[in-house]
Structure 1
Amino acid sequence: MPADARAQPVLITREDDLARAALRLTEARRIAVDLESNGMFAYRATACIVQIASEGDVILVDALKTSLAPLAELMTSRATEKIIHDVAFDARILAEARVALANVRDTSLAARMLGRTATGLASLLDVELGVSIDKKMQQHDWSERPLTPSALTYLAGDVAHLHALRDRLWTEVEERGIADAVEEETRYRLAQAVAAAGTEDPRPPYVRLKGIERVPEAELAILRHLAEIRERHARDLDVPPYKVLAPDVLFAIARAKPTTLDELSQIKGAMSGRRARALAPDVLDAVAVGIEDVTIPDEERVWFDKPRLAAGVARKRRAREQRLTKWRKDEAKRRGVDEQVVLPGHCLHDLADLAEVSLEAIAAVPGIGAFRVARDGAALLTAIAEEGP
C-alpha cells in the first residue's frame, strides 16, 4: 500500500544511516523521489532535502549534513523504478551531487502527454486522487535548520501519494497506447538535464534577460553593465540575481538613464530594500559607462542577433515547419492523442532544420525514438521533402 502521509517520516543526517536505508530500498520494486533545493534563496541551487517513499515508509535525507553518495547505486539501478514529478530539475541537481537516475517514470510528463492542462503536483493529486496537499511551504528556504515538525510533514506529503498517482496515470497511458512516447520523452529530458548539470550559462548576464532582443541600441550597453554588476553582487551575497535587482527594474533604469541618486530613486524598485540601496553607486556608474561607450563586442552580439537565413532557405524552413505542424495535428486527431505524443515540439523544430533528407538523419534527431522512425518515417520524409506532398 502507498506510504501514509500521516506517518512520521524518518530523517537521515548521517552517511552510514543513509547507506543502510539505501540498501533496504534496493529491495523495493519502485520508489517515489522528490528533491528540495535552495534555488529561490541562493546564487546556485544545491540539494537540501531528498525525499524517498517506498510503498511502506518515507525517508528524508538531509543533503546539507550527509553526502548523497550512498544513493548512487539505488538511483541508477534499473531494477527499481523511480517515480518523479517533473524529472528535469531533480535530475540536474542530483547529477551535480554525482547521483544519476535510471528507470524513471515522470508523472508530470505522463499527465502532459495525456492532455491534462494542469500538471502541477497539487493539481493532479486533487483531480486524479481527490487528495489535497498543503502548499504553504512551496517557497520555503530548505537550507534553514532545524527542520520543524510541520516541515517534515510537508516534505513527506510531497512523495507519499506519488505511487498512487503513477498508477492512475500509467493505467491510462497503457490504455491509450502512448507508453513508448512517454518513455522516450522521459529519456530525452533526463539526458538534457544531466548534460546541463554543473555547466555555466555561456551567455553574458544581460543576454539572458527575457526581452533583450527588443531593447533599443541606446539602452543595450547600459543593460550590459547593469547586469554585470547585478551578477557580481548576487554571487558575492549568494542570492539569486533577481533578489538584487528585478529584471523589470534593470530595463527601467536603462530607459531612464539616471545620473543622480535622486533620479534613481524615482524609478520604482531601484532603491527598494537594503541590497538595492547599497548597489546604487555602482548602478549609476554602470549607467554612465554605458552612455559613454555604446559598443557591444561582436562575440557577445551573436548571442541575441539571430542569424538571418537566406530568403530561400528561410522559406524552405517555414514550409517544412508548416507541413510538419499540419501532419502532426492531423495525425493526433486521427489517433486521438495529444500532439506532443505524435511529435514533441523540439523534434519538430529539429526536423525543420535538417540539412539532409533521409531516414538516417531523422533517426538521429534527439528524442524522436526508433518507434517513431519505424511508424512515421515515410510520412516525416514526405513532410520535410523540399517540394512537400
Structure 2
Amino acid sequence: MTENPTEHHVISTRDEYLDAVAALEGGVGPIGIDAERASGFTYSQRAYLIQIYRRDAGTFLFDPPAIGDFSELNAALADAVWILHAASQDLACLREVGLDPVRIFDTELAARLLGMPRVGLGTVVEELLGIHLAKEHSAANWSTRPLPEAWLVYAALDVELLPDLFDKMVPMLAESQKTELAEQEFQAVLAKEAKPPRTDPWRKLSGLHSLRGQRNLAVARELWLARDALAQQLDVAPGRLVPDASLVAAARVGPSNKQALANLREFSGRATRTEIDRWWNAISTGLTTSNLPDARVNGDTLPPPRAWAERNPDADLRYKAARTAIATLSEALAIPTENILTPDFLRRVCWAPPAGEDAESIAATLSELGARPWQIEATAQLIADAFVDARQTTPDEVDPAS
C-alpha cells in the first residue's frame, strides 16, 4: 500500500519519473495498472492519470500529458505480468504513451470465466477480498488539474488491490480447470486489432433514424462534421458543445436563415449561440450540396434475430437450436454464454453456415471469425448437432418465446 495514504503525489517531472522507473523495476511480482481518462468531457481518449502498484516498490501515480513517453517504464516492466481490470478499455490509451504489455491478467475476464454473477471491480474485490471499494469517482473529469486528493486515493486503491485479486484468482482458475481458457482469452485481448474508422461516423448520431429524406441527412452530416471539427480543436466531448438531439432537430426543421436557427427552441447547448455562424454554414452546405448521402447503407450487419423467422426461416431454426445448446453448455461450465462464444459469431454461422454444416467446417468458420481455440473445441460439434436438430424441426415446433 501507499506509505502515506492521506497524501498522494502525482509524478509529472522527468527526474521523478526515472526514479519511479528504477523503483518499480526493483519491485517483486506482477504489477497492478490502471488508467483514468476523461470520457464524456474531452474529445480525446488519452490517459490523464496512470496508476501502478508493485510489491516492494509501492504505488506510483503518473501524469501522462506531462511525462509524454513511457518507453523506459515499458522496458523495465517487460517481463512482469500486468494485472488490469477490463484491459480492453485501457490498452489503447496505455499504448498511446508507449506502455504495451507482453503478458496480462484481466481480473474482469477471470471473474467472468469463474462464473461470478457481477464482474465490476468493486463487486469482485468485495466478494473475494472482503473489502468495500467505493467507485464514486470513476466518471470524473480526470483532465482536471490539480487532481483532488480524494480522487487520487480512489485511483491508488484501484491498483493496490489488483495483486491480491491475482493471488486469489489464479488458484481458483486452476481448481476449475480454466487456466488455459483464461490464458487464451488474455492473449486474444492483447492481440485484438483496433477497429478501423467508420466510413460514415456521422451516422452514429442518436436519433438519426427519425430523419426522412436525403436532404435532411445531408444537413445532419454537415452539422456533425462541423461539431466534430470544433470538438477536436477544443478537445471537448462533442455532446458537451451541442447535444445530438439538437443537431437532429435542426436537420429535421431545416431553418431558412441564421435567425430561424437561433430561434429554434430545440437547438441548445453551450456552443449553439457562440458558434452560430459555424452551424448555419453547415446547414447551408447541407441544403445546397449535390453530394447527398444514401438513405440506407448496405453493410455486413445482419438483420436482428427477431426478423429471421420471416426473412430466413432456416437460419432462424438453426439459431434457436444452437443458442439453446450454447445456453446449456454455459450452465454446465458456469461461464456466460457471450464468453463461451461471441454472439455475433454464432449469429453469422447460423445465418450463412458453411457447406456441409459439419463440425469441421463450422470450426474453420469460427476460427476465421476470431473465436479462440477453446471456444471452437467447446462449440463446433455442439453447433453442428444443433443444425441437424434444426433440419428435423418445423417452424410450428419452435417456442415463439425462444
Alpha-carbon separation, structure 1, partners of 2:3 and 2:353: 50
- 2:197 maps to 201
Work out whether residues 230 and 244 of structure 1, in 8 Å CA contact, stay in contact via their aligned partners in 2: yes
- CA drift of 1:37 comes to 2.4
- CA drift of 1:20 comes to 4.8
- 1:83 maps to 83
Matches within 5 A, 1:268-283: 270-273=267-270, 275-283=271-279
Question: What SS does structure 2 have at the residue aligned with 1:54?
Answer: strand
- 1:284 maps to 280
- 2:241 maps to 244
Matches within 5 A, 1:74-153: 74-77=76-79, 80-153=80-153
Q: Does 1:343 align with 2:341?
A: yes
Alpha-carbon separation, structure 2, partners of 1:5 and 1:323: 58
Matches within 5 A, 1:275-314: 275-293=271-289, 296-297=292-293, 302=297, 314=312
Aligned sequence identity (%): 23
- 2:397 maps to none
- 1:257 maps to 254
- 2:398 maps to none
Q: Does 1:377 align with 2:345?
A: no
- 1:60 maps to 61
Alpha-carbon separation, structure 2, partners of 1:70 and 1:132: 35
- 2:327 maps to 329
Alpha-carbon separation, structure 2, partners of 1:170 and 1:213: 47
Distance 1:106 1:286, change over 3 A: same
Distance 1:254 1:24, change over 3 A: same
In the alignment, structure 2 segments of 5+ residues that lack a partner are 393-402
CA deviations on 1:29-52 (whole Å, 9 max, x unpaired) are: 211100122343332222222111
CA deviations on 1:281-312 (whole Å, 9 max, x unpaired) are: 333343344345585346x953679688x999
Question: What SS does structure 2 have at the residue aligned with 1:111?
Answer: helix
Question: What SS does structure 2 have at the residue aligned with 1:64?
Answer: helix
Alpha-carbon separation, structure 2, partners of 1:75 and 1:349: 40
Question: What SS does structure 1 have at the residue aligned with 2:183?
Answer: helix
In the alignment, structure 1 segments of 5+ residues that lack a partner are none
- Letter aligned with residue 332 of structure 1: S
- CA drift of 1:5 comes to 8.5
Alpha-carbon separation, structure 2, partners of 1:303 and 1:98: 38
Q: Does 1:364 align with 2:364?
A: no
Q: CA RMSD in A?
A: 3.7
- Letter aligned with residue 71 of structure 2: A
- 2:21 maps to 22
Distance 1:307 1:176, change over 3 A: closer
- CA drift of 1:319 comes to 3.8
359-368 or 48-57: bigger deviation: 359-368
Equivalenced residue count is: 380
The TM-score normalised by the length of structure 1 is 0.81
Work out whether residues 229 and 282 of structure 1, in 8 Å CA contact, stay in contact via their aligned partners in 2: yes
- Letter aligned with residue 351 of structure 1: V
Work out whether residues 43 and 240 of structure 1, in 8 Å CA contact, stay in contact via their aligned partners in 2: yes
- CA drift of 1:375 comes to 4.2
Question: What SS does structure 1 have at the residue aligned with 2:32?
Answer: strand
- Letter aligned with residue 250 of structure 1: L
Alpha-carbon separation, structure 2, partners of 1:188 and 1:270: 44
Work out whether residues 318 and 387 of structure 2, in 8 Å CA contact, stay in contact via their aligned partners in 1: yes
The TM-score normalised by the length of structure 2 is 0.78
Distance 1:138 1:236, change over 3 A: same
- Letter aligned with residue 42 of structure 2: A
- 1:216 maps to 212
- CA drift of 1:110 comes to 2.5
- CA drift of 1:215 comes to 3.6
- Letter aligned with residue 12 of structure 1: I
Distance 1:271 1:363, change over 3 A: closer
